[in-house]
Amino acid sequence: MDNKEILVKTALSPSRLHGLDYALNPYRGCEHACVYCYAPAVIHWNKGKWGELVEAKINLPRILSKELNVKKKGVVGVGTVTDPYQPSEKKYEITRRCLELLKIHDFPVCIQTKSSLVLRDIDLFKEFSNIEVGVTITSLNDRIRERIEPGASSVKERFQALKELSDIGIDTWVFLGPLLPHITEVEPLIDAIADAGPKYVIVDRLRLRNGVWEHISEFIKSYDLQLLPEYEMIFLKSNDYYREVFETIIRKCREKGLKCEINNLYEKEL
């Protein structure tokens, strides 16, 4: 994996994600290299294989500092496109320095990550008046996780991070997705998530933006070739597969007293 240091002209961009006013992404590229990632299409990535190059926005804190003096206060989503706690953050600490500024200006923050590196910043989180930390969970099986999210933290580390944050009183949430048909173990996952104490769960299907089908179908062929016709049916033809899965999740979350929301933000675009 290579790093490149880049300079940016803006820090906060308007966000149309539910509950967020601004998006802040300290890195372009993501070494977590998830097989289902559609970020390359979102940012029009044309710099080689996703996961092999990460561009660190080294002047982001300076630009953010200026913007925070003039922008209207609003909720900042940290890591809306790429993971803010991917391994490069250990070296650059751009996310941490941005969080320090957001805290000084008392902007509400919502973080999303697949990395237990997020625990490094617990001291900062404690000083925020309004912060939520979201951890993405896709499987209970680390052998599957290794194949679909090779650069991200293990399943165990993510659950530990979630629990540790929840236990000390930081508001946490879980992004449960993307749900991989016939692979994601929905009910045991909800049991495990409920035990880790998040405030709520956002559930999402697999989304096939540019290039994702190619990577997913390659993964399915090597994981279990017999699943391929089923995936083609679900994703390439009209199919109701997710309706039943979502119903199961809603029922199970109700049983566990867990607030749950099905993400349909991009439904119309698919």
Interaction site with ligand SF4 (CB under 6 A):
30, 32-34, 37, 39, 82-83, 114, 149, 152
State the minimum distance, in angstroms, from the CB of residue 27 to ligand SF4.
Answer: 9
Q: How far is the CB of 70 from ligand SF4 (least distance, A)?
A: 29
Contacts of 40 (CB under 8 A, 6+ apart): 50, 210, 211
CB of residue 209 to ligand SF4, shortest distance in Å: 11
In angstroms and rounded to an integer, the radius of gyration of the C-alpha atoms of the chain is: 18
Residue 253 in contact with residue 201, Cβ under 8 Å? yes
Provide the CA 148 distance to its chain's centre, in angstroms. 14
- Beta-sheet strands, E only, within the chain: 2-6, 13-14, 22-24, 27-28, 53-57, 76-78, 109-113, 131-137, 171-179, 200-205, 259-262
Smallest separation (angstroms) from ligand SF4 to the CB of 106 = 28
- DSSP-derived 3-state class of residue 16: coil
Of the pair 25, 166, the CB lying nearest ligand SF4 is at 25
Shortest Cβ distance from residue 32 to ligand SF4 (Å)? 4
Report the residue number, 82 or 172, with the smaller CB distance to ligand SF4. 82
For ligand SF4, the closer of residues 89 and 149 by Cβ is 149
Longest dimension (CA), the chain: 56
Q: How far is the CB of 149 from ligand SF4 (least distance, A)?
A: 6
Decide if 82 contacts 27 (C-beta within 8 A): yes
The smaller minimum CB distance to ligand SF4, of residues 68 and 94, is found at: 94
- Cβ atoms of 81 and 53 within 8 Å: the answer is no
The residue (of 155 and 258) whose beta carbon lies closer to ligand SF4 is: 155
Instruction: For ligand SF4, give the closer residue by CB, 163 or 209.
Output: 209
What would the two tokens of residue 99 be?
């969080």
Decide: helix, strand or coil at residue 68.
helix
Measured CA distances, 41 to 6, 29, 31, 261 (Å)? 20, 11, 16, 25
Q: Which is nearer to ligand SF4, 152 or 206 (CB)?
A: 152
The minimum distance between CB 82 and ligand SF4, in angstroms, equals 4
